[in-house]
Amino acid sequence: VYKRQTLACDPRRSGFFSTELINAMRIIEAGDVARENMTGSLAGAMGHVQFMPSAFLNYAVDGDGDGRRNLWGSIPDAMSSAGNFLQSLGWQPGLRWGREVLLPAGFDYATATRKVKKPLSEWSKAGITDAFGKPLPAVDLSASILVPGGAAGPAFVVYENFDVIMRWNRSEFYAISVGRLADRIAGAGDLTRPPPDDGLRLSRAAVLELQTHLNSLGYDSGKPDGIFGSGTRRALRSYQSDRQIIADGYPSQQMLDAVAASAAEL
């Protein structure tokens, strides 16, 4: 409650958080949770599934039948609420979120983006198989290819249900993690191609520097903010493509050094 109260005084999003503060008080008034137990994240998202108060009021359900919607202490309530929210966002039962795939030699990594959607049959004709080398399912689905760890890491084909997860949280890494966790719970094994050892452990300062260098080189990454998002990845891909480097948009240390060296030559 106090975090939402503080953010309600922030002029940048005062209206939004003022409304969320009122919603939080409505939840307390309804008896779903005591004020001292209403803990949340920095921005006020609450419980196991990190609902904002408005999402709680609209989608939280009583999964264990005790008369309360307890997203903090009841796993049945939390999971039932999460399922209710996903359904409202357009989740299609019976369809996967995506799967790990193998990419053929010579694959154009510039097409590995959610902005490029093709029928699954077209990706199959391009030589993409499942993680074990078997043909992709012969189903009529629109799909995209993602390589969150660059050309050296695992590749995924993602479907419409992946976009639904993205409506919950606008991070591709989040959505892939949720999908993979669901697969592991259902019995799936490890990735056949693990993420690169260096991972994406970038400091905010490192991303700010990368964005500043890319902008100075004429590759628009947007206003530098220290967050490695789609705009920065797109700018890095353009930089790589112009230099005949695999355009996977992955900010390895080698790539960070290369961009910095290019900027220093200006």
- 84-134 residue pLDDT tens: 999 999 999 999 999 999 999 999 999 999 999 999 999 999 999 999 999
Please state, in angstroms and rounded to a whole number, the distance separating the CA atoms of residues 176 and 182: 10
Range of weakest confidence among 7-21, 89-103, 132-146, 161-175: 7-21
Residue 63: DSSP 8-state: S
Kindly state the tokens that stand for 187. Answer: 């019995």
pLDDT of the residue at 230: 86
Sheet holding 118-119, edge to edge: 118-119, 142-146, 155-158, 98-102, 129-130
pLDDT of the residue at 41: 85
Q: What is the mean pLDDT of the chain?
A: 93
Does the pLDDT of residue 195 top 90, yes or no?
Answer: no
Residue 113: DSSP 8-state: S
pLDDT of the residue at 198: 65
| Residue with more model confidence, 8 or 35 | 35
Single-letter amino acid, residue 156: F
142-146 and 98-102 beta bridge pairing: unpaired
Residue 135's beta-bridge partner residues? 129
pLDDT of the residue at 61: 97
- When pLDDT is cut at 50, 70 and 90, the band that residue 81 belongs to is very high
The three-class DSSP label of residue 237 is helix
Work out the average pLDDT over 21-46.
90
